[in-house]
Amino acid sequence: IKSIGVLTSGGDSQGMNAAVRSVVRSGLFHGLKVFGVQRGYYGLIHDDIREMDLRSVGDIIQRGGTILQTARCLEFKTEEGQKLAADNLRKHGIDGLVVIGGDGSYQGANKLSKLGIKTMGLPGTIDNDIPYTDFTIGFDTAVSIVVDAINKLRDTMSSHERSSVVEVMGRHCGDIALYAGLASGAEAIMVPEVPFSIDEIAARMKANFDAGKRHSIIVVAEGVGKGEDIAKQIHERNGMEPRVTVLGHIQRGGTPTHNDRILASSLGDFAVRRLIAGESGKACGKLNGELVTTDIDTVVNTKKPFNTELYELALRLSQ
Ligand code: ATP
């Protein structure tokens, strides 16, 4: 392998830049030519590909977003689109590609692998919904942002003796809600993986309030429902009037934490080394402290196991 490309795809996440930097610098360190592809698979199809040097990834390790930009590209889901993308890579002499993104982006990488381009996936998404890695790049930062927001809400909730419903990201995976909820002492954490009873939550809030608890925070993953609807249902049951905060895209921005930068740096370099070793169609992850690769087919067909232990811990501590 002599030349590699790197792209970011799907939803952006904090730490993608640190991953791009790592791929570029590690590639150059190992004597490869490295190309950056703008706007994910869209840039592959439209040949928006440029050679990177050491300086082209300077001053980005601390930045959110992605200097390569990202896109969702329907054209790439077609066979013609995939063939065009592979042809463009070959035209530049690129024989390996690192794809930083989520589930969908991984499937795209797998298609290219079947067309003879060596591919490696890196888990770039705040949702932590990718299996065979303990954490995805961006998750740690997103959780910190939610915890920070809840700290601020708590101050004003306590002063006014109010409750709060905080809606966070996570359509299928409740990890942001789980980790942020546990870390911020939420009274209830509602995630898509665990059935819940609004009756029970509303009754518990009222009982705790009557027993002297002067604030309560309910964290809701968006996959469970809208924060507004949950607040309404609580009000109908216990008469309380929870205020609703929807954190939205704030969770995807800002400077990455050191955990995300280190994860991104380790995985970027690892992906390059695995490509040099001849692997393809694999996803890189850090599992139980070890860097591992797993077949993309396996990764995209496996649901990330839910951390029931942490969920039960949060429940025990939430009285
Ligand atoms: P996130 O979970 O953060 O949204 P993602 O990578 O899952 O990230 P998607 O929009 O699902 O985001 O995928 C990104 C791009 O990957 C798509 O726009 C498309 O170009 C490509 N892609 C997705 N699924 C496939 C597929 N089955 N085959 C080929 N390409 C795909």
Q: Residue ranges of the chain with pLDDT lower than 70?
A: none
Cβ atoms within 10 Å, residue 205: 21
Cβ atoms within 10 Å, residue 93: 10
Using alpha carbons, select from 101, 130, 149 the residue that is nearest to residue 254: 149
Q: What pLDDT, on the 0 to 100 scale, is given for residue 213?
A: 85
β-pairing, 33-37 vs 3-8, is parallel
Beta bridge partners of 121: 99, 283
Residue 11 annotated as lining a ligand binding site: yes
The two three-digit tokens of residue 34, written as one number:
């490295």
The two three-digit tokens of residue 243, written as one number:
């205020």
Tens-place pLDDT, residues 126-150:
999 999 999 999 999 999 999 999 9
Q: What pLDDT, on the 0 to 100 scale, is given for residue 162?
A: 85
Q: What pLDDT, on the 0 to 100 scale, is given for residue 292?
A: 98
Q: What pLDDT, on the 0 to 100 scale, is given for residue 161?
A: 75
Mutate to test the pocket of ligand 1, among 9, 97, 103, 105 (most ligand atoms within 8 A of CB): 105
Residue corresponding to tokens 């980005």: 60
Q: What pLDDT, on the 0 to 100 scale, is given for residue 187?
A: 94
Q: What pLDDT, on the 0 to 100 scale, is given for residue 212?
A: 87
Residue corresponding to tokens 């966070």: 168
> Residue 270 C-alpha to ligand 1 middle, in angstroms?
22
Q: Say how far apart CA 23 and CA 291 lie, in whole Å.
A: 15
Looking from the CA of residue 12, the nearest atom of ligand 1 is 3
> Residue 130 C-alpha to ligand 1 middle, in angstroms?
13
The two three-digit tokens of residue 41, written as one number:
């698979």
> Residue 32 C-alpha to ligand 1 middle, in angstroms?
27
Ligand 1 contacts (CB < 6 A) are 9-11, 41, 72-73, 76-77, 101-105, 107-108, 111, 125
Q: What pLDDT, on the 0 to 100 scale, is given for residue 294?
A: 98
> What is the residue type of 133?
T
Looking from the CA of residue 103, the nearest atom of ligand 1 is 7
Q: What pLDDT, on the 0 to 100 scale, is given for residue 247?
A: 98
Read off the pTM. Answer: 0.97
> Residue 148 C-alpha to ligand 1 middle, in angstroms?
30
Residue 258 annotated as lining a ligand binding site: no
The two three-digit tokens of residue 202, written as one number:
């509303």
Cβ atoms within 10 Å, residue 262: 15
Q: Which residue has the CA at smallest separation from atom 2 of ligand 1? A: 102
Q: Say how far apart CA 207 and CA 201 lie, in whole Å.
A: 10
Q: Say how far apart CA 107 and CA 311 lie, in whole Å.
A: 30
Q: Say how far apart CA 161 and CA 213 lie, in whole Å.
A: 9
Which one of 127, 129, 260, 269 is the catalytic residue?
127
Residue 215 annotated as lining a ligand binding site: yes
Give catalytic status of residue 95 as yes or no: no
Residue 160 annotated as lining a ligand binding site: no
Q: Which residue has the CA at smallest separation from atom 18 of ligand 1? A: 72
Phi/psi at 167 (nearest 5 deg)?
-95, 125
Q: What pLDDT, on the 0 to 100 scale, is given for residue 215?
A: 82
Local structure of 172: helix, strand or coil: coil
> What is the residue type of 220?
V
